[in-house]
Amino acid sequence: MTLDTLIHDVNSKCASLKDAAALLRGMPTAEAKELLALMTRQALSLADSIEEYAEELTAP
Amino acid sequence: MAKLSILVVEDDPLARKVMASQLGSHAADFAADTASAQAKLETGRYDLCFIDLELGDGAEASGLELIPLAVSQGTYAVVMSGHDSEKFVERAYALGCNDFYAKGNEEANVGRILDRFMGRRAKSGSDLFTERFVTEDPATRATITDALKYASSDLPIIILGPSGTGKTSLAKIIHDHSGRTGEFVAINCSAYAEDLLEAELFGYRKGAFTGAGDSRKGKLLAADQGTLFLDEIGSMSLKMQAKLLKAIEERSFYPLGSDQAEGSQFRIISATLEDLQGLIKAGKLRFDFFQRIHGLTIQLAPLAQRKCDVFPLLSFFTRGGKRLNFTAAAKERLSRHAWPGNVRELKKFVDLLVAGHEGSVTPEAVARLLADAVAQEGGGAFASDEQYRFALKNGLAPAVDRVTDEIVRRCLDENGGRKTKVLADLKISTRLLYASLKRTEAGR
């Protein structure tokens, strides 16, 4: 993973997380749960990207 | 804001969810990869397309390859990206994209893009009356402008007007402004016998009737999420009206020979040159069917009532082709013509004019070609549809009188009011000439 790819991932994933969080206000519970599940998956995927870059950076 | 048809190409499910929410009042469609985006874009049905720069397929900036296709389909292409590096912004604009934004705060981003798009459309909307429905007549412009306010609703529309006034063109324009994602499907009800019309509308299964070698999708299904345009609605049989009424009410129907119902969400626009109230009174149009197809009524005026459109239409039909110069007398002759075949007759006249050798058009050439255009438009039938329906409604004798009076009046005009020339040219008696002139005078 290149630094450019990581920057793109962080920017776009954080952007959709931020917008999704704003949508939660006033959302019916069932729909909110579905959205929260998507957000969780997004956050985990972002953590994976960071970890992958970190591993590549520290690899000999 | 008008309802727009929008495609969002985005591989990230959470971002798709966010975009679906931001575009809630529009007809939004989604694609997660380039292949499905290409298939959707090729239909050419989208006003706008939001394209994610990176589609998660491993290829760098793969979203960019969709831009030329979107632009070639007349779709407003917007690239959205997690990073706004100069390199990609430059490449996106070089490929023809209309807008580029960095992701984050989609509510504001999408709002700005839609405002820009609508502004652009409003500007280009000024070509509505110079390109798509050519008219300078203020009343016709107002009628069409009003009609377009209802384009995005599901309200059924009836377009009334004589043959050749542009009913089909207007129906298509309304569909194009509706934001509906489906197709514009037109059918002329008078062109089919009852059984064939049923098969055309509802479709059929293989073996449903003799000759049904393969199953075929009907117009009702083809118009799903789109517009079904029923031309010459007045010629539809009562039985067919009842069947169509049921399909409209239930939004589902059975193709011929099938026991499986098909669902279809279509908007109906109908057109006729006949008097609908007269048809209802005569028992030729079911009242319940009329109520179902009747929402907004648009009346298009014949060309004779908007003579100011004759020369703009002439210019439009000859644009990019042979340049014609009309003498003052030829212009005067054209202005006097009644254009019974309306815009269609005018188009035929222009075709004849362009195909001929005349560069400078004289009144004699106009008179000769107008006669040819009328003869060709009739396709060999001497009586027009309007004459036939007038005769059915009022009787043959008044219809013959009306034709006689128009011919006499025209011949008189072409001969500078010289009655002796009219008597000789038309080979009629003095008595007939004066009877005709008396009727014309009384009718004024």
Which tens digit of pLDDT belongs to each residue from B348-403? 888 888 887 666 788 888 887 877 655 554 444 567 767 777 888 888 888 899 88
Strands B27-31 and B5-9: parallel
pLDDT, residue B247, reads 93
Q: Among B80-84, B91-95, B173-177, whose mean pLDDT is lowest?
A: B80-84
- Does A53 contact B at CB distance below 8 Å? no
Which CATH superfamily is B133-299 part of?
Answer: P-loop containing nucleotide triphosphate hydrolases (3.40.50.300)
Strands B76-81 and B252-253: unpaired
Q: Which two tokens stand for residue B219?
A: 């117009």
CB-based contact A12 B21, cutoff 8 Å: no
Of the CATH numbers 3.40.50.2300, 1.10.3720.10, 3.50.50.60, 3.55.50.30, which one belongs to the domain with range B5-124?
A: 3.40.50.2300
Burial tier of B438 (Cβ tally within 10 Å: 0-12, 13-18, 19+): exposed
Alpha carbon of residue B146 to chain centroid? 16
Q: Find the radius of gyration of the CA atoms of chain A.
A: 14
Contacts B54 to A, Cβ<8 Å: 8, 12
Q: How far is CA B337 from CA B160, B196, B310, B347, in A?
A: 22, 39, 10, 14
The answer on pLDDT for B45 being more than 90 is no
Q: How confident is the model at residue B1 (pLDDT cuts 50, 70, 90)?
A: low
Quickly list H helices, chain A.
Answer: 3-23, 29-58
Q: Among B16-25, B326-335, B399-408, whose mean pLDDT is lowest?
A: B326-335
- Does A46 contact B at CB distance below 8 Å? no
Of the CATH numbers 1.10.8.60, 3.30.70.260, 3.40.50.360, 3.50.50.60, which one belongs to the domain with range B312-377?
A: 1.10.8.60
Interface test with B, best of A1, A12, A35 (most B CBs within 10 A): A12
- Does A54 contact B at CB distance below 8 Å? no
Burial tier of B349 (Cβ tally within 10 Å: 0-12, 13-18, 19+): buried
Across the interface, of B14, B21, B54, the residue whose CB is closest to A39 is B14
- Does B119 contact A at CB distance below 8 Å? no
Contacts B53 to A, Cβ<8 Å: 8
Nearest CA in chain B to A38: B14
- How far does the CA of residue A58 sit from the closest CA of chain B (Å)? 23
Q: How confident is the model at residue A33 (pLDDT cuts 50, 70, 90)?
A: very high
Q: How confident is the model at residue B115 (pLDDT cuts 50, 70, 90)?
A: confident
Sheet holding B27-31, edge to edge: B27-31, B5-9, B48-52, B76-81, B99-102
Q: Cα torsion for B57, B60, B63, B68, to the nearest 10°? A: -130
* End-to-end C-alpha distance for chain B, whole angstroms: 47
Nearest CA in chain A to B104: A15
- Does A18 contact B at CB distance below 8 Å? yes
Q: B378 by DSSP, 3-state: which?
A: coil
Across the interface, of A11, A22, A39, the residue whose CB is closest to B82 is A11
pLDDT digits (tens, 9 = 90+) for B240-286: 999 999 999 999 999 998 899 999 999 999 999 888 888 899 898 99
Asked if residue B26 lies in contact with residue B6, where contact means CB atoms within 8 angstroms, the answer is yes
pLDDT, residue B206, reads 83
